[in-house]
Amino acid sequence: AQKITQTQPGMFVQEKEAVTLDCTYDTSDPSYGLFWYKQPSSGEMIFLIYQGSYDQQNATEGRYSLNFQKARKSANLVISASQLGDSAMYFCAMRGLPLRVQGAQKLVFGQGTRLTINP
Amino acid sequence: DTAVSQTPKYLVTQMGNDKSIKCEQNLGHDTMYWYKQDSKKFLKIMFSYNNKELIINETVPNRFSPKSPDKAHLNLHINSLELGDSAVYFCASSRPDRVLTNTGELFFGEGSRLTVL
């Protein structure tokens, strides 16, 4: 079974500063994937970034980067130069091996971190 | 064009009623899901269908019954609604696993907020 832990219920950051959101995981699957999603107050779930367990390099997508430390089982999200629009809930999630050949992906989510960017 | 669309977006109903939430995706994906987000924002998978076949069926009361008439649609019917069913229900889909670049990313709908009074 997979487990995701986000230990920061809330974070407050000044605009333009960098912010790191913590995520640790646990799994016995040899291959897995890690995701970060953003949920603004409007409620939709927005995919931000993905890291595969065998990827050699840390994933980056614009201002988002994923600090993947496999030995520590951590997959922290780093947002550079934060903006007011970054204020939202952020969820870390993971998937293990597909459950069947057809490939249903069971994503397990963490509890989320509410990020507030102050002007 | 909305990729994953759910209706209704808001649903307010009395305890004991039966209600349905509909979901449609136009992404050509084979697999669809229902997730429940509770009042503490915790997201948990309920069901998954692959090409109309039930693949994932988590520990969910029998009052919840998914139905997939075709691979582009996945509906959720809830019988005898209880107060604890109040939540946001998200529909999602994912690419076929045969696609080599498939990361398993979920494409979510906008959510359906169910309030049971």
B39 in A contact zone (CB under 8 Å) = no
pLDDT attached to residue A89: 98
Cβ atoms B36, B92 nearer than 8 A? no
Asked if the Cβ–Cβ distance from A104 to B31 is below 8 Å, we say yes
Please name the residues between 49 and 108 in chain B that touch chain A, using a CB distance below 8 Å: 50-51, 53, 55-56, 88, 90, 92, 94, 96-98, 102-108
Nearest chain A residue to B43, by CA:
A109
pLDDT digit of tens for each residue in chain A (119 aa)? 789 999 999 999 999 999 999 999 999 888 889 999 999 999 999 999 999 988 889 999 999 999 999 999 999 999 999 999 999 999 999 987 665 555 677 889 999 999 999 99
pLDDT attached to residue B97: 61
Q: Is the pLDDT of residue B55 over 90?
A: no
Asked if the Cβ–Cβ distance from B106 to A103 is below 8 Å, we say no
Rg of chain A on CA atoms, in Å: 14
Per-residue pLDDT, averaged over B78-101, amounts to 86
Nearest chain A residue to B46, by CA:
A106
Spatial neighbors of A108 by CB under 8 A, at least 6 apart, are: A2, A3, A4, A93, A94, A95, B45
Mean pLDDT of chain B: 91
Cα–Cα dist B108/B101, whole Å: 19
pLDDT attached to residue B58: 87
Higher pLDDT, B106 or A96: B106
Q: Find chain A residues with C-beta within 8 A of B115's C-beta.
A: none
- The reply to whether omega before B96 is within 30° of 0 (cis) is no
